[in-house]
Chain A
Amino acid sequence: MSYKIAVIGEPETVAGMSLTGVTYSHIHSNAEASLSKLEEFLNNSEIGLIIVTHSVAEGLGFEFRKIMRQKGPLPVILRIPDKTGRTPKYDELSEMIKRTVGAEIIVKKGGA
């Protein structure tokens, strides 16, 4: 199946992604608007990938995590750093490893 891509982020990220031909975009200004847009993207069956910047995801906070937990396998939601390259200190992936494996595991570069 062919799917389209959506992006939610600050103007620079949206502009850059628009240059690549991403179909749907939303410039983040406040949490409510972005949240409703995100739900709209989630319900749109032709979107397969939603790109959200970390800062927006953090701004949405609990609601975003709830969406991440409740959604099915599609669409895929990917969080990327914004133009400042900011990534959250709290790494969900390593937190997930801690919870599932029971020990913190640091994956070295170049494979596990």
Chain B
Amino acid sequence: MATTTTIAPTRMELMKLRRRISLAQKGHDLLKEKMDALVMEFFNVLGRIQDARGKSLQQLSNAHRALTKCLALTGTLETLEAARETRRGAQIEISTRFIMGIQVPTVEAGKIERGALERGYDVLLTSSSLDDAAREFEGALKLLVELAELEASAYALAGELEKTKRRVNALEYIIIPGLKAALKFILMRLDEMERENFTRLKRIKAMLEERG
């Protein structure tokens, strides 16, 4: 370890090291707890995503089927024209909340479903298949908005999880072992110095006895 060569083997350093190790250990435990909580939250969101995805994609394919039918029945141009004339009022409410200190958006669909007359295209010039398509798409959008919230949460959680995991691993596999190695080095070195001192004293004693 690089740290062992630069460390002065003194009792002062030993005490400092012991303090640092206990701090790193404490930090590691706390981060690990945070990671566990994040994983739980992450899987909770994942389960909900799976549901929401299935539902919204099903609804979306229904919507596309209705739209295709409408394109066939009323003609492409008329349909696209009507789509362009539609009133553009869809709004969503977004606020942010915090899961374990991570900012996560909460998306709520406002009033998306509308009656045929509220949509703004000319009801007289279009067929009921357009109304069907619009209704299906409104339903799909509502579900998609929910899905968007979940996916954004999942991405935010995953990002934080990755960061936390990297920190936990750095502490667990690099910092703490490095500190422990340094601690061991100092202990060995101090023991060695003590033994050296002991033999030196013995030797001096023997020399003194010889002379005296």
Q: Mark A residues whose CB is within 8 Å of B.
A: 1-5, 11-23, 48-49, 51, 68, 73-74, 76, 78, 80-81, 83, 85, 87, 93, 96-97, 99-101, 105, 107-112
Find out whether the CB atom of A99 lies under 8 angstroms from the CB atom of B144: no
The residue on B at minimum CB distance from A46 is: B91
Contact partner, B94, options A48, A51, A68, A78, Cβ 8 Å: A48
Q: In this assembly, does B172 line the interface, its C-beta being within 8 Å of a C-beta of chain A?
A: no
Measured between C-beta atoms, what is the minimum distance from A17 to chain B in Å?
7
Q: 9 tightest CB-CB pairs across the interface, nearest first? A: A112-B47, A21-B90, A19-B134, A78-B148, A15-B83, A18-B83, A111-B47, A16-B137, A48-B94
B31 within 8 A of A: no
**Across the interface, which residues of A come within 8 angstroms of B110, CB to CB?**
2
Q: Which residues of B contact A85 (CB under 8 A)?
A: 57, 60-61, 64
> What distance in Å separates the Cβ of A12 from its nearest Cβ neighbour in chain B?
6
How far is it, in angstroms, between the C-alpha of A14 and the C-alpha of B134 when the chains are bound? 12
Closest to B131 in A: A19
Number of interface residues of B (CB under 8 A): 64
Known: A83-B64, A93-B49. A19 touches B137 (CB 8 A): yes
A64 to chain B, nearest CB (A): 14
> CB within 8 Å of A: which residues of B?
39, 42-44, 46-51, 54, 57, 60-61, 63-64, 67-68, 71, 79-80, 82-84, 86-96, 103-105, 107, 110, 112, 114, 119, 130, 133-134, 137-138, 140-141, 144-145, 147-149, 151-152, 154-156, 158, 161-162, 165
With contacts A22-B141, A100-B161, A100-B162 taken as known, whether A73 is within 8 angstroms of B156 at the C-beta atoms is: yes
Complex contact B51–A12 (CB within 8 A): no
B79 nearest CB across to chain A (Å): 7
In the bound complex, what is the Cα–Cα distance between A16 and B64 (angstroms)?
Answer: 8
What residues of B have a CB within 8 angstroms of the CB of A111 in the complex?
A: 47-48, 50-51
A21-B113 Cα distance, complex, nearest whole Å: 10
The answer to whether B104 and A73 touch across the interface, beta carbons within 8 angstroms, is yes
A72 to B86, CA, bound (A): 31
Contact flag A97-B46 (CB < 8 Å), given A15-B67, A81-B57:
yes
Q: With a CB–CB cut-off of 8 A, which chain A residues contact B112? A: 20-21
Is there contact, CB below 8 Å, between A109 and B50?
A: yes
Chain B: minimal CB distance from A101 (Å): 7
Please state if A49 and B134 are interface contacts (CB–CB under 8 Å): no
A18 with B84: in contact, given A4-B91, A5-B92, A12-B64 (CB under 8 Å)?
yes
Residues of chain B with a CB closer than 8 A to A97's CB: 46, 158
Task: Give the complex CA separation of A107 and B147 in angstroms.
Answer: 16
Bound Cα distance from A105 to B50, whole angstroms:
13
How far, in whole Å, are A110 and B105 apart by their CA atoms in the complex?
24
